[in-house]
Chain A
């Protein structure tokens, strides 16, 4: 499904701010895998997701989705295969456009945009149905501007948009981090529902160890631009926070110092 081979990325190479964000990372995902990614600040989690999404090109290595080499493809062309939800709720939707307009844009992800009408009446009915599954009352507010929605509503909408045109790969970059705990739990439940329903291959970054353990069938931990822990199957099911911490210490040779991860 997803085949990452030996990718590396260095930012600001040759300057005093040089930062090697990914070191020779390889990762293979199977169809339907739901991987959670954890790691401290600057471990390379978001860098890995951005490398897959094509925010910039990697320095070395190759990335394939379903046998298609996307290493050199620009971001908007990869979007055909990839659905994304960002950490910042403002980033995934167009605030000045209506809910239905946002959905219509997502519906055409990976398709050629023509001079046909932007939203057909049949689509509106479909959007009402899918919005209803969110249980946020958005199905009655199709023409409301997205800027009027709360952060949680916007993330839920972004999730829906990412899955509307079924992606080969769903990338979630700490998409609940900016939300309060109650809303975060709700969005996470929606995530689980959509991923299971559509059988989506998913990579989800989280800073919450409990969430990382509770969701998905595989867990990877990153440290200094490398994958240091990779757990799946039965081992993943029986994971505990304590065991995860031990694994991290063994892999990195130091205690996990991120308060954010421990406290949440």
Chain B
């Protein structure tokens, strides 16, 4: 129990950081109805860019911004492959992800990992600050849960504003009904590219934050990111779906979903002593189950519904 409680702040911090990634995924998966596999690559891209820039003496804020932009470029590539080249979205994402494997290694100077010494650089978030703030060595606002929570709130606020604008609404319409969107003069191809860019930008930003938090970037850090992101989206919807109807709250639910996911994983590690190499198997099983439930519910437990409902007009 003590080991679990000791690990809890770390799990929450990690959950919050991955929550930003999951919010990015929510944009493609829920709003655009695209399962975007680019994220497994662009998450690491964010980390790689961030670590190299900071090592090169760059300001941490600039490093984060460039990481975000790098992620947007990854999304742009997937978007162009999908819309201009007619490649199915899922395959376009896989292609970009594969290409990013080489790209990420190149960014990290052809090394599989690069570490950041928290003693040498002033970082925005770090695992070390968890204890440093508790001991009073660092100001309270550097407590990772606080820092990342603030970042999450700012991101949600910006997205809430954006998806309420004319452009943002047209992006939502693109995901909701492409025929209708085109008939209303909306350039659906451009909107899909834009959505993929915003999404991957956030994913890369999340990767950059995680890199700072754990003090290194690793070529494998994004592996299975889409599954963790989906887990967060689905847990958020299952737990808060009935309660949160507002768009900003839905995004908040995704972030909380990611925290729940990490706390559960931490609990599994602390209490069962399972070899942590099994965690990816566990995640996949959990997500597969949650994705199957709505389908099974429809198939086996659906009440007969009148078709169309045209008779009530």
A contacts, CB < 8 Å to B: 53, 74-77, 79-80, 84, 86, 89-97, 101-102, 104-106, 108-111, 113-118, 136, 150-153, 156, 161, 178-180, 183, 186-187
Contact = CB atoms under 8 A, between A and B. Distances in A.
A82 to B, nearest CB: 8
B182 interface: yes
Nearest to B308: A151
Interface string B170-189: 10110011011111111110
A152 B309 CA distance: 8
Contacts of B164: 117-118
A111 B181 CA distance: 13
Contact of A183 (B168, B177, B187, B311): B311
Given A113-B167, A115-B166, A117-B164, A76 B313 contact: no
Interface of B: 162, 164-170, 172-173, 176-177, 179-188, 308-313
Given A150-B308, A150-B313, 13 more contacts: A76-B182, A84-B183, A92-B179, A101-B172, A108-B170, A114-B166, A118-B164, A118-B168, A150-B309, A151-B309, A151-B313, A152-B313, A156-B313
Given A94-B173, A114-B166, A116-B166, A150 B311 contact: yes
Given A178-B308, A183-B311, A91 B180 contact: yes
B95 to A, nearest CB: 25
Closest 3 interchain pairs by CB? A152-B313, A79-B185, A151-B310
A46 to B, nearest CB: 13
Contacts of B172: 94, 96-97, 101
A84 B185 CA distance: 11
Contacts, number: 118
A190 B181 CA distance: 23
A56 to B, nearest CB: 12
A136 B313 contact: yes
Contacts of A118: 164-166, 168-169
A105 B182 contact: no
A153 B308 CA distance: 11
B261 to A, nearest CB: 25
Please classify the interface of chain A as helix (H, G, I), strand (E, B), loop, or mixed, using the class held by over half of its residues: loop
A114 B184 CA distance: 15
A182 to B, nearest CB: 8
Contacts of B310: 89, 150-152, 178-180, 183
Contacts of B179: 86, 91-92
B185 to A, nearest CB: 3
18 contacts: A76-B182, A76-B185, A90-B177, A93-B180, A94-B172, A94-B176, A101-B172, A104-B166, A105-B173, A105-B181, A115-B162, A115-B165, A115-B166, A117-B166, A118-B168, A151-B309, A179-B310, A180-B310
Contacts of B168: 118
B184 A91 contact: no
Given A97-B173, A186-B313, A79 B183 contact: yes
B233 to A, nearest CB: 16
Given A79-B183, A94-B181, A152-B313, A114 B167 contact: yes
A52 B75 CA distance: 34
Contacts of B313: 136, 150-153, 156, 179, 183, 186-187
A4 to B, nearest CB: 20
